[in-house]
Amino acid sequence: MQPSRRTLLGALGTSVLALSAGCAGSLPASDDSTAVDQTAAADRIAADPSATFEVRLHGPDTDHLLFDGEDLERVGPVESSRAGAAALPVALTESATADVAETVRSAGVSENVDAFEIVQTYDGEEMGRFGIAPSLADAIATDEWDGQIYLSFAERAQAERVRDAFVASDQT
């Protein structure tokens, strides 16, 4: 019997998100001009005002907006995961990081991580649905999370489409 699509996406999302708890330093500091010139440098956000991107927390009696495109401070380059999917490293603003942490803590995610999932949508289209790594939930619960996270996409083209909507085309 083959696993369901949801099971596969959950496993993929968990493996990608497990990296996010320890990804400090994966995106360069936003004010370091030398970092901006590096090929793997993260770009500042210049959101397409017509693009609607949301990341929501779904769980028992829970459907909360965690963050949207306006909450992104930096976006890194699209990366390929070992499972053949794509990952998009992002850094949230300081206020969005605090809001996400409060939402995750108040929902009790760290006490029952398997009961929750993250749902990403872009312009109304679901782009990903996956579980939350226990290490990420623990980092958030203990105030050790720095607002950096890897968003998971089944296809590289999806990740690139979302990234393109949020990165300034005139970056130097």
Label each residue of 2-65 as H, E or C: CCCHHHHHHHHHHHHHHHHCCCCCCCCCCCCHHHHHCCCCCEEECCCCCCCEEEEEEECCEEEE
DSSP one-letter code for 154: S
Is 159 a member of any domain? Answer: yes
Band (pLDDT 50/70/90 cuts) for residue 143 is very high
Is 37 a member of any domain? Answer: no
The number of distinct structural domains making up the chain is: 1
Is 45 a member of any domain? Answer: no
pLDDT score recorded for residue 11: 40
Is 135 a member of any domain? Answer: yes
Band (pLDDT 50/70/90 cuts) for residue 29 is very low
pTM: 0.71
Closest of 111, 108, 114, 149 to residue 132, by C-alpha: 114
Is 150 a member of any domain? Answer: yes
Band (pLDDT 50/70/90 cuts) for residue 5 is very low
Is 21 a member of any domain? Answer: no
pLDDT score recorded for residue 114: 96
pLDDT score recorded for residue 19: 35
CATH number at residue 102: 3.30.1360
Is 169 a member of any domain? Answer: yes
| Residue 125 structural domain | 51-172
Is 118 a member of any domain? Answer: yes
